Amino acid sequence: MKYCNLIILIIIFQLVNGCSFAPLNSPHTARSLGKGENNVNASVSPLGLEYSRGIAENTDIGIGAEMQFGPLYTGWMKHSFVNNSKGGSTALLGGIFYGDGVYDSTTKGYYFGPVVSYRFDAAEWYLAAKYNRVYWEVGENNVKDKDDESIFTIEPISHNFSYYQINAGLSYWFTDSFNTDLSALCLKLEEQRPACVPMLGFGVTF
């Protein structure tokens, strides 16, 4: 499992050559959208797209996809315990995910954790902390050369592991419907030192 630690940053920049992780994106606010309201959020790094909808005044659900070493799909629910249009808000997030990758590999698992945010005027600071549980498997593969002759065989591999993730950043609301987001993503895996990279995204609420 330790070799996966060395490629965390590579994964984030879409150059995956090993294990897959849980979704790198997280909600950018602890506030609920409000019943019947919708949001679409696109991220540049990692490349991803997410749609969420308010199903109650304090509860949102969402689905999303992002590229790691293959497409990774997720579904989540967020409930706001303190839900303020201005000022501080708190919420609890929980979700599941699944993805297919190279060499007949699959990734699945779940995540949960708190989200806090504080909005004043057009700026909103936020922090989302997640516990991620990942089940990663690779089936047996026969790697061949251009003449279709066998070079080597990859034996089945299975890794189950957990790690912590923090997304912290600032959303700037140009209008009540459009915002941009600049944040930092930090991962902490086993006894390794945290690895952090910047992230950029855009959102539209309607």
How far apart are alpha carbons 133 and 146 in whole angstroms? 38
| Mean per-residue pLDDT over the chain, rounded | 83
Walk me through the domains of the chain, giving residue ranges and CATH numbers. 2-205 (2.40.128.90)
Quote the Cα angle for 107-110-114, to 5°. 140
Asked if pLDDT for residue 14 goes beyond 90, the answer is no
Chain centroid to CA 76: how far?
A: 11
Place of tokens 């007949």: 104
CB 153 within 8 A of CB 143: yes
Instruction: Indicate if the pLDDT at residue 136 is higher than 50.
Output: yes
- pTM for this entry: 0.80
Closest CA to 165 of 124, 100, 112: 112
Torsion of CA 97, 101, 105, 108, to 10 degrees: 0
Structure tokens at 112: 């949960």
- Alpha-carbon distance 108 to 188, whole Å? 19
| Two tokens, residue 21 | 């992780």
Amino acid (one-letter) located at 20: S
- Tell me, what's the pLDDT at 98? 94
Residue recorded with tokens 């849980």:
22
The model's pLDDT over 35-77, given as tens digits with 9 standing for 90+, comes to 999 999 999 877 899 999 999 999 999 999 998 877 899 999 9
Residue scoring higher pLDDT (164 or 13): 164
Report the pLDDT averaged over residues 137-148. Answer: 61
Among 193, 187, 202, 152, smallest CA distance to 19 is for 187
**Contact indicator for 84, 31 with CB cutoff of 8 Å:** yes
CB 48 within 8 A of CB 40: no
* C-beta of residue 64 within 8 angstroms of C-beta of residue 51: yes
Look at the alpha carbons of 178, 186, 95, 77 in this order and tell me if their dihedral is positive or negative. negative
Distance CA 41, CA 50 (A): 5
Higher pLDDT, 185 or 112: 112
